[in-house]
Structure 1
Amino acid sequence: MDTSPRVLVLGIGNLLWADEGFGVRCVEALAERYSVPPQVTLMDGGTQGLYLLPYVEEADCLLVFDAVDYGDPPGTLRIVEGAEVPRFMGAKKMSLHQTGFQEVLASAELLGRLPRELVLIGCQPVELEDFGGSLRDAVKAQIGPALDVAAEFLRGWGAAPLPRADDAPRLNAGSLGMAAYEAGRPSEQEACRFGDARFLAGD
């Protein structure tokens, strides 16, 4: 009987909001760099919230990549484990996806189906208020170190990743890949990045 733990590696966040896309970019890069054993699922969780609950419930080990506001210097990578993960996910909400994922963890725990191993690999964002923007350099530079940390945890769970010797299957459409996404971005003059503060602020 195969007793290998079922592992879910989840990237969450929004590619369209600058550094909010850190988690998704990490899991995409992991899929491109490594071949993983069959008991490992790599998933772009986006901002799906409670729709992710069935996948979380099925996992024995859960590793999450995300942009998280820890109050650290921008671009800082921080690793959180175990019972601290739900607390850090809710420390300071940057967007609705974090509220939704905190609910996923709470629901799984209530049902007695919380993965026995929890890891959050988070990065302090530099910029969020850039609609259609990509990762800032300080955050992008943490993708490689984040993958190194993830690979260590996978090895510890008996699910060692191996360097790819073939073309990786894409987790997202080619147009959403980081290089294509950044290359297709209009100039500041051609696209609204921040909106008009008079209307965004309200009265």
Structure 2
Amino acid sequence: MPHRPLQRTCLKMPYPEIVVAGCGNLLFADDGFGPAVAQELLKFALPDNVKVVDAGICAAPFVFTLLDSERTKKLIIVDIVDFDAVSGAIARQHPRCPSRGHRRSTPRIEDGIDVTIIGCQPKRLPGPEMEIGLSEEVRKAVPGAVRIVLDIIGALDD
């Protein structure tokens, strides 16, 4: 049987309208918060326009492949964020745009994509040695973060 080249349309990926990225590393204490939230979200029957990914530690290069300036409307990033609060506290934030001339090491998020960060104050910050498992405070914050994400994407049952 002769080899047939793949058609270009087979390689084209449909871009979701909403991307939820759980960022972090399960091997480093509370840094596993984002992936833990992503895993919980995957247990729900979510709308077809939503893509939930455990982005791990390579979040930027991976997540940016899922975004399309014409199709993607929302990017929700779930991660630990040290915002000087009590351990397990959750904050919903919008990233600030850097001033002109500010150099960035990550790709630019397209205009028109609404970016929200769901951050959890860690108890144990990642260190040089592996420490598997979330602290009790951060583990208890996972359902609250899931609820916030479900609310943002419009999948929360009242």
- Report the TM-score when normalising by structure 2: 0.74
Matched, 1:118 2:108: no
> 2:84–2:121: 8 Å Cα contact kept in structure 1?
yes
For structure 2, which runs of at least 5 residues remain unmatched after alignment?
A: 1-15, 99-103
Task: Name the CA shift for 1:161/1:152 in 2 (closer, same or farther; >3 Å).
Answer: closer
Aligned residue identity for 1:117: D
> 2:21–2:63: 8 Å Cα contact kept in structure 1?
no
Which structure dedicates a bigger proportion of its chain to helix? 1
* SS state at 1:120 partner: strand
In structure 2, what is the Cα distance between the partners aligned to 1:135 and 1:77? 15
Aligned residue identity for 2:20: V
Q: Hey, what does 1:127 align to over in structure 2?
A: 124
Task: Name the CA shift for 1:31/1:51 in 2 (closer, same or farther; >3 Å).
Answer: closer
Q: Hey, what does 2:108 align to over in structure 1?
A: 108
In structure 1, what is the Cα distance between the partners aligned to 2:17 and 2:73? 5
1:63-110 deviation line (CA, Å, top 9, x unaligned):
1110111122222111113x43x67xxxxxxxxxxxxxx744xx234x
Match of 2:93 among 52, 70, 80: 80
Matched, 1:31 2:42: yes
> 1:71–1:124: 8 Å Cα contact kept in structure 2?
yes
What's the CA shift for 1:114? 4.2
Alignment of structure 1 residues 134-149 onto 2, 5 Å: 134-149=133-148
Q: Hey, what does 1:46 align to over in structure 2?
A: 56
> 1:77–1:121: 8 Å Cα contact kept in structure 2?
yes
* SS state at 2:132 partner: coil
In structure 2, what is the Cα distance between the partners aligned to 1:42 and 1:131? 26
* SS state at 2:117 partner: strand
> 2:89–2:120: 8 Å Cα contact kept in structure 1?
yes
> 2:147–2:156: 8 Å Cα contact kept in structure 1?
no
In structure 1, what is the Cα distance between the partners aligned to 2:93 and 2:139? 20
In structure 2, what is the Cα distance between the partners aligned to 1:19 and 1:46? 13
Task: Name the CA shift for 1:8/1:115 in 2 (closer, same or farther; >3 Å).
Answer: farther
Q: Hey, what does 1:62 align to over in structure 2?
A: 75
Aligned residue identity for 2:81: V
Task: Name the CA shift for 1:115/1:23 in 2 (closer, same or farther; >3 Å).
Answer: farther
Aligned residue identity for 1:139: V
* SS state at 2:25 partner: coil
In structure 2, what is the Cα distance between the partners aligned to 1:47 and 1:56? 18
What's the CA shift for 1:21? 0.4
Aligned residue identity for 1:127: R
What's the CA shift for 1:140? 0.5
Q: Hey, what does 1:14 align to over in structure 2?
A: 25
